[in-house]
Amino acid sequence: MNTKKKNMTGADIFFECLRREGVEYIFGYPGGAVLKIYERLYDIDFLKHILVRHEQGATHMAEGYAKATGKVGVVLVTSGPGATNTVTGIADAYMDSVPIVVFTGQVPTHLIGNDAFQEADICGITRPITKHNFLVRDISELATTIKQAFYIASTGRPGPVVVDLPKNVINSITEFNYPEKVELRGYKPRIYGHQNQIKKAAMMIQKSKKPLLYVGGGVIMSGGHRELYLLAKENNLPVTMTLQGLGAFPGTDPQSLGMLGMHGTYWANQAVNNCDLLISLGARFDDRVTGKVDTFAKNAYKIHVDIDPTCIDKNVIVDLPIVGDVKHVMAELAAEISEKPDLTEWWEQIETWKQECPLEYDMSDGRLRAQYVIEKLSELTNGDAVVVTDVGQHQMWVAQYYKFNHPRTNITSGGLGTMGFALPAAIGAAFAIKDKPILCITGDGGFQMNMQELATAAYHKLPIKIFIINNSFLGMVRQWQELFHAEKYSFTDLSDSNPDFVKLAEAFDIKAYSVSSISDVEPVLKEALSYNDGPILVDFKVVKEDMVFPIVPAGASISDMIIRRLDPKEMF
Amino acid sequence: MLHVISALVENKFGAFNRVVTMFSAKGYNIHSISIGETEDPTISRMTIVTEGEDKVIEQIVKQLNRLIDTIKIIDLTYQPKVQRELLLISVGYQKGTRSEIIDICEIFRGNVVDINNKTLMLEITGPPEKIDAAINVLEPYGIKEIARSGLVALRRGEQSRKNIKEETETNKVGELK
């Protein structure tokens, strides 16, 4: 054993730790408190630093990278405003359980609390929105803290971790000592589910006549898509997915019922309403899924598999909780089932629902609709692109009309619903994924929230296809105003203030098109998909008054679903 | 219903804050909270008195467990336990009432810890009901100031298996006779 330890500066220790953690990219922005780190970064070649244009962009890029790869995304920013600008991204990662580590600079320890220049108590600020955070008060803690940060972010239910690095800690010198293992007595995530509970669950599946798998993002995070496929296929079980769960099971498979919940398919929601056994796999019974909790899957026996015990009985009381890694639990569950349930009648029923109310939109007036663009994209990419969406109507249309066939190809802001997520997240994904097209589908509102990152995309010549679904409105808010707020379109009309997106892209030297006719959609999409020399932007000018249907109004029962806009003739 | 939760947490910068932040972020009530070092200087014990239905308490315990800095969480509510609170109370006195107040203090097995020509300060310990009763009884004399420590509690020591076994066996023998 080499007993001779090397003395290193905090900045060198920082990079040595990142090297050992296998970090490939840092998304960051320099500033006073982290200058020493940037000084060292100048000569470092084992990882690549991506200069963002706003720190929020850095956090979403790290999220996009993490969601596309399953690895930890890394952010490096300075103190004060640099740190506070990351807050939205951290909260987003917390809600969607995305493993990221955010390194923030901090004023020297002797100035902490003095209202020093660019000082902000980022640990205090981010405490409720991080899985954990650290203020490194002494250089002797630096290496251990970084090791722990990566371990905490990536294990159990993943999440964001903030490491606050005071300037004097980074500048001081100590002996480098990287711990091999992390030992945290207060943190021991449970991997294997309780055997008897799993046996009981298997028995319930065998006995059930109308079972339903309700799949969330946890299945993708745990890497359990194969286990899910086997469990579902071998037992002929119908699968419905949450927004984050899309991609866990092939969307083109006949056993997929698509998404459930507020904008879920009619048949998926009917299946939830009528099933006798609901098996929740890595999902958290979010209010956008359940609607009114008292009536959610009212007659079903509920099994809930989750790695986070706090998710169990939080929103909906379940009959059989199984705490563990959903990948392992599904494998064991599949092995325990000896007799396949007979589901002929159940499938007939589901088929009837499918025929009753298919997903559809009307193109007869000859005007361009978002749904058409998305459906075409799904066809042209065969459900095998990485699709990064923003928040709003386009996001729901993608969830409905894009048939995700692979895990980690659906990247979207679900829990927090962060507008401005798509472009930076697509950039993060584009650094990681080179063998699939990266589609950034966004709205005209959300796009403008982080459009400064066009510079990042252009500089690195990332072949991102930016599709703006431009209805000149904050469409989802407009939809709620029409349906629930007396048609007062209060501050949602952007038509007089939107920029010319084509000119905007051109200012960044990005190729761009504007499309407003149906016949142009396919050729332009084909061109965009085959263009790989850098980003390309297409501004799709779509119908502004379109709404996402079906919709379950907030807090209503799933059975109160509104299927389509009422024709004035039908209303009287 | 009030619940007494005992939490062993890392004796580290920010750990207390994390616990309190969790309560406020999730909208849970804190009746009282006390914290101090334990036999192991790296661990602090927090005693939290909180209120809620069983379902809420279950979530609180789980949410506390979820924090990285918490080591062990025990809901002591239904456990055999010793619980104590410390009351410092300053009571005004006039001619003639001083000895009455001192009598009351003795009944509650408290101590007089400070006196001047207007007020007496008493120190009383006990379970919360006893503290409430003492305050109630002292009320008419004119309470000037109160400081309560919040509850601390420990689970009673378990009777060792061996003793219990021996006891039952003795009983059995006794019955047979």
Task: Write down the pLDDT at residue A571.
Answer: 47
The tokens 């850095």 sit on which residue? A58
ipTM here? 0.90
Question: In B18-126, which ranges are E strands?
Answer: 32-37, 43-51, 70-75, 81-92, 111-115, 119-126
DSSP assignment letter at A572: -
Q: What is the mean pLDDT of residues B76-81?
A: 94
CB atoms within 10 A of CB A138: 13
Tens of pLDDT, residues A275-296: 999 999 999 999 999 989 999 9
Phi-psi region of A382 (alpha: psi -120 to 50; beta: other; left: phi over 0): left
Query: Measured at the alpha carbon of residue A350, what is the angle toward residues A345 and A351, in degrees to the nearest 5?
Result: 95
For the segment A464-483, the average pLDDT, to the nearest whole number, is: 96
What's the pLDDT at A564?
Answer: 79
Q: Which residue has the tokens 């995530």?
A: A189
- Write the pLDDT tens digit of every residue in A332-384: 999 999 999 999 999 999 999 999 999 999 999 999 999 999 999 999 999 99
Question: Do residues A249 and A215 make contact, with C-beta atoms less than 8 angstroms apart?
Answer: yes
Question: Tokens at residue B173, please?
Answer: 């023998």
Shortest CA gap B25–chain A (Å)? 7
pLDDT at A430 over 60: yes
Confidence band of A6 (pLDDT split at 50, 70, 90): confident
Q: Is the pLDDT of residue A264 over 60?
A: yes
Restricting to B residues 123-142, those with a Cβ less than 8 Å away from any Cβ of A are none
The string of pLDDT tens digits covering residues A288-330 is 999 899 999 999 999 999 999 999 999 999 999 999 999 999 9
Q: In this predicted model, what pLDDT tens digit does every residue of A110-169 receive, in sequence order?
A: 999 999 999 999 999 999 999 999 999 999 999 999 999 999 999 999 999 999 999 999
Per-residue pLDDT at A35 exceeds 90: yes
- Phi, psi angle pair for A170, to nearest 5°: -65, -35
Per-residue confidence (pLDDT) for residue B69, from 0 to 100: 96
* pLDDT at residue A559, rounded to an integer: 80
The pLDDT > 70 percentage for chain A reads 98
- The tokens describing A519, both together, are 């016949």
Query: Looking at the DSSP assignment, which residues form a beta bridge with residue A440?
Result: A388, A466
Record the tokens describing residue A462, joined without a space. 């990332």
Q: Indicate the pLDDT class of residue B173, thresholds 50, 70 and 90.
A: very low
Report pLDDT digits (tens) over A66-119: 999 999 999 999 999 999 999 999 999 999 999 999 999 999 999 999 999 999
Residues, chain B: 177
**pLDDT at site A331:** 97
Of A188, A206, A209, A187, nearest to A198 by C-alpha is A206
Residue-level pLDDT at B177? 29
Classify B154 as helix, strand or coil: strand
pLDDT at residue B170 greater than cutoff 50? no
Contact A415, A395 (CB under 8 A): no
CB B50, CB B30: distance < 8 Å? yes
Average pLDDT in chain A? 95
Decide if A487 is catalytic.
no
Cut 0.90: pTM above it: yes
Interface test with B, best of A183, A310, A314 (most B CBs within 10 A): A310
The reported pLDDT for the residue numbered A557 is 87
Say if residue B175's pLDDT is above 60: no
Question: Of B13, B21, B59, which has the smallest distance from its Cβ to A310's Cβ?
Answer: B59
Residue among A170, A154, A153, A171 nearest A162 (CA): A153
Interatomic CA distance for residues A347 and A367, integer angstroms: 37
pLDDT at residue B162, rounded to an integer: 60
Long-range contacts: A549-552, Cβ < 8 Å, 24+? A549/A263, A550/A263, A550/A264, A550/A265, A550/A266, A550/A269, A550/A357, A551/A262, A551/A263, A551/A479, A551/A483, A552/A261, A552/A262, A552/A263, A552/A264, A552/A269, A552/A291
| Binary contact (B59, A184; C-beta < 8 A) | no
Residue B176 has pLDDT above 90, yes or no: no
Distance from C-alpha of B152 to C-alpha of B83, rounded to nearest angstrom: 6
pLDDT at residue B172 is higher than 90: no
Closest by Cβ to A152, choosing from B9, B25, B68: B68
Active site residue A8: no
- Which of A128, A135, A313 is opposite residue B58, by nearest beta carbon? A313
Count the residues in chain A: 572
- Contact residues, chain B, for A186 at CB < 8 Å: 9-10, 67-71
How confident is residue A233, by pLDDT bands cut at 50, 70 and 90? very high
Statement: residue A542 has pLDDT above 80: yes
pLDDT (tens digit per residue) in A165-186: 999 999 999 999 999 899 999 9
Q: Which of A6, A39, A46, A117 is catalytic?
A: A117
Residues sharing a CB contact under 8 Å with residue A296, sequence separation 6 or more, in sequence order: A272, A285, A290, A316, A557, A558
Q: Work out the pLDDT band at A3, boundaries 50, 70, 90.
A: low
CB–CB contact A309 B69 (8 Å): no
Backbone angles phi, psi at A559, to 5 degrees: -70, -10
The predicted model gives A533-552 an average pLDDT of 95
How far is the C-alpha of A258 from the C-alpha of A246, rounded, in Å? 8
Amino acid (one-letter) located at A114 = N
Q: A118 an active-site residue?
A: yes
A with B: how many residue pairs have Cβ under 8 Å apart?
Answer: 40
Residue A124 sits at the chain B interface (C-beta within 8 Å)? yes
Using the Cβ of B69 and the Cβ atoms of chain A, whether some distance falls under 8 Å is answered with yes
Tens-digit pLDDT profile for residues B100-148:
999 999 999 999 999 999 999 999 999 999 999 999 999 999 999 999 9
Residue B66: CB atoms within 10 A of its CB come to: 19
